[in-house]
Amino acid sequence: MLQRSVLTEEEQAAICSLEGREAGIEPHRDIVRPGEHTDYSCLVVSGLAARFGQLRDGHRQITAIHIAGDMCDLYSLMLPKVEWAIQALSSPVKILKVPHRDLLKLVRAYPAVAEAFWRDCVADGSILAQWVVNVGRRDARMRTAHLLCELGVRMERAGLGRRDAYTLDIVQTQLADALGMTPVHMNRIIRGLREDGLLVTRRRDIHITDWAALAAAGGFEGGYLEYEDGPHRRL
């Protein structure tokens, strides 16, 4: 949040004094079920979580991957019941459940914190907009390259690795569900990217050996992950 928003020490302290309930979620378990009415929002402390929609036949589309430091359902403050779900990906996830009433008290007392939350929601929306372009218009190779670049930048900003070297602890079906293709097809695409010398994968470790080429292959421009003025504050 501090990468997007400037907050005073008092505001930061107010956020830190929020009392959340820490919960450990096993891999593949729901954090928020579809249709569940929640009275808290979740901060991802560690691990990876995903928001997804599911069809009757069981097929899924992952619509967001949340990494440590993401407040993964801030929107639930305004929309406590949604039809999508949030689930732990393939490793255990630690979350902090922060009650909505405390969040509301906080944002009413500190408008800058409300702005910061708002900015986080905008960031979520910007990423989602890119993902729509991904599944709608980018071909399989392009969208895979785009997502791997995006996750690299996000991991680096969150202090979880380097943009060209990070660990993506998810199984192939989950990554394929984020890309809107079958795992077999995705593996074929990743093999192609490897053979072209763009990346090396070793188990869950992604090593992007030619960032410029992978970004070009994905048409990736990271502007949607940045904020024009950087952290700013109008006083």
Partner 1 sequence: MTRYHLNLFNDTDILDEEGQDFPNIAAAVAEAVRSARDIIAEHVLTGRTIHLQHRMEVTDPEGRLLSTVRFGDVVRFEQ
Residues of the shown chain interacting with partner 1 in the complex, contacts defined by CB under 8 A? 139-140, 171-173, 181-185, 187-188, 191-192, 195
Structure tokens at 117: 């939350």
User: Position of tokens 């691990």?
Assistant: 47
Q: How far is the CB of 56 from partner 1 (least distance, A)?
A: 15
The residue (of 12 and 172) whose beta carbon lies closer to partner 1 is 172
The alpha-carbon radius of gyration of the chain (Å, integer) is 18
The conformational region for residue 155 under phi > 0 = left, psi -120 to 50 = alpha, else beta, is alpha
Query: Are β-strands 85-88 and 49-54 bridged in parallel, bridged antiparallel, or unpaired?
Result: antiparallel
Q: How far is the CB of 200 from partner 1 (least distance, A)?
A: 15
The residue (of 126 and 187) whose beta carbon lies closer to partner 1 is 187
Q: How far is the CB of 9 from partner 1 (least distance, A)?
A: 47
The residue (of 94 and 188) whose beta carbon lies closer to partner 1 is 188
Q: How far is the CB of 68 from partner 1 (least distance, A)?
A: 24
User: Position of tokens 């952290």?
Assistant: 231
Which of 109, 88, 101 lies closest to 30 in space, CA to CA?
88
Amino acid at 164: D
The residue (of 187 and 209) whose beta carbon lies closer to partner 1 is 187
